[in-house]
Structure 1
Amino acid sequence: MRPKQTLFLGLILLLPVLAFLFLKTFGTNRFALPTYLPERVDSTQIGGEWQRDTVFHTLADFRLPSQLGRVVSQQDLNGGLYVTSFLSTPCSGACQTLNSQLMRVQEKFRRESRVRLVSYTTDSVAVLARYAEQYGAIAGKWFFLTGDKTALYRLATQEYRLPTPAGATPGLVQSQNLFLVDREKRVRGIYDGTKVREVNRLITEISVLLYNYDHDKPSR
């Protein structure tokens, strides 16, 4: 057999091995979601060169009564991700549409303990209990939380950076937005909760985060 033929045959036999090694090393599909609410930009010097790194806002703790009457805090949501909403008082129109869309999210991830829903409102605990019954909220999965207007105003404007009209008095800031919060308590997605297409995107991006968590290396 001629040298060129031998070399050609060797390359043909080697290609499947190279393809396997490439896929094994680089073939794991990973999807990156953006992170919202930048806090500051830090600069560090590495190898004589300055590198800029954006630090994103981490949501602060809270302690608020739920529809069941017990206090729920950020610690109760550790280990997973959650979807935040801010409900108008009384809840009608767009607010009802938003809750109907959240029912879809709850049903999609009914058996996924790492996914929970958190809805803030200034209504009483008795009203929250009616919301929970009306929308089929699963205990321990969908939390309706209430609190005084000042605390909820601070939560909406300082933690989620929701805009408020000039001269507005403290109170719950109403919004059609849904916020996807990851296990590091950072906002990873913002969606219009009244639009089916946007909520479909939310469902997809929840699945993306869960996939990434399931495929994280043990050292992380």
Structure 2
Amino acid sequence: MRPKHVLLLGLILLVPVLAFVFLYTFGTNRYALPTFLPDRVDSTLVEGKWRRDTVFHQLADFRFASQSGREITQQDVGGGVYVANFFFATCPGACPRMNSQMARVQEKFRHEPRVKLVSYTVDPAHDSVAVLERYAEQYGAIAGKWFFLTGDKTALYRLATEEFRLDAPSGAGPGIVHSQNLYLVDREHRVRGIYDGMKPKDVERLMTEINVLLYTYEHE
């Protein structure tokens, strides 16, 4: 065999080997979720150089009554991820559409115990435990999976405006805070995604990103 033919054959055999090495080394596809609601920027000294790091908000604990009458805290929905939203039972249009999308998320993760759903009422004066029990039945809420919560008006208002940072209504005192957003909360109680609960495509993205978070927990 001529030297040129040997060189050509060697190159042909070498190409797939180099391609494999390149893909193995550089081809890992990592999809990292953003974190929302920054609190502050801290400066830390690392190897003689100052590095600025953003510290993101961690949602404070809560204690509200669920549609079953049982008190629920963040510990009851922690350990995995949960999807949160705000609604009121007499809302005629946006809330039913939004909670129908929440029902899609519940069905998608019906058999995944690490995924919970939390719906906070913003009208606790009307939305009693009995009202929420009937409301939850309309959407097929699974006991221990999807919690509809009510309680002290001031505490719910503070949760909405100070923890999830929804815009406060105009006027004095706590009012009805309305939002069509769905929030993805991780096990460190940080918001990792905000989605339009009126848009099915946004909810598809939410379900994809839930899987991303669960995958990262499995492969730490």
TM-score, normalisation: structure 2: 0.88
Q: Kindly report which structure 2 residues correspond to 1:44-123, keeping only aligned pairs within 5 A, or say none.
A: 44-121=44-121, 122=124, 123=127
Instruction: Report percent identity of matched pairs.
Output: 71
> 2 CA distance for matches of 1:93 and 1:126?
22
TM-score, normalisation: structure 1: 0.88
Equivalent residue of 2:168, what SS? coil
1:128 is aligned to 132
1:162 equivalent to 2:154? Answer no
Deviates more, 1:128-137 or 1:23-32: 23-32
> 2 CA distance for matches of 1:179 and 1:78?
14
Contact 1:31–1:212, Cα closer than 8 Å, also in 2: no
1:146 equivalent to 2:150? Answer yes
Residue ranges of structure 2 left out of the alignment (5+ in a row):
none
Contact 1:67–1:145, Cα closer than 8 Å, also in 2: yes
Contact 1:100–1:135, Cα closer than 8 Å, also in 2: yes
Which consecutive segments of 4 or more residues in structure 1 shift more than 6 A?
none
Number of aligned residue pairs: give it. 216
Per the TM alignment, residue 21 of structure 1 is displaced from its structure 2 partner at its CA by 3.1
1:176 is aligned to 180
Contact 2:83–2:116, Cα closer than 8 Å, also in 1: yes
Q: Deviations over 1:169-201 (max 9, x none)?
A: 214522111111112211111122122232222
Equivalent residue of 1:24, what SS? helix
Equivalent residue of 2:40, what SS? strand
Per the TM alignment, residue 7 of structure 1 is displaced from its structure 2 partner at its CA by 4.7
1:13 equivalent to 2:17? Answer no
Per the TM alignment, residue 159 of structure 1 is displaced from its structure 2 partner at its CA by 0.5
Residue ranges of structure 1 left out of the alignment (5+ in a row):
none
1:30 equivalent to 2:30? Answer yes
> 1 CA distance for matches of 2:64 and 2:206?
25
> 2 CA distance for matches of 1:5 and 1:37?
63
Contact 2:197–2:203, Cα closer than 8 Å, also in 1: yes
Alignment CA distance shift 1:129-1:51 (3 Å): same
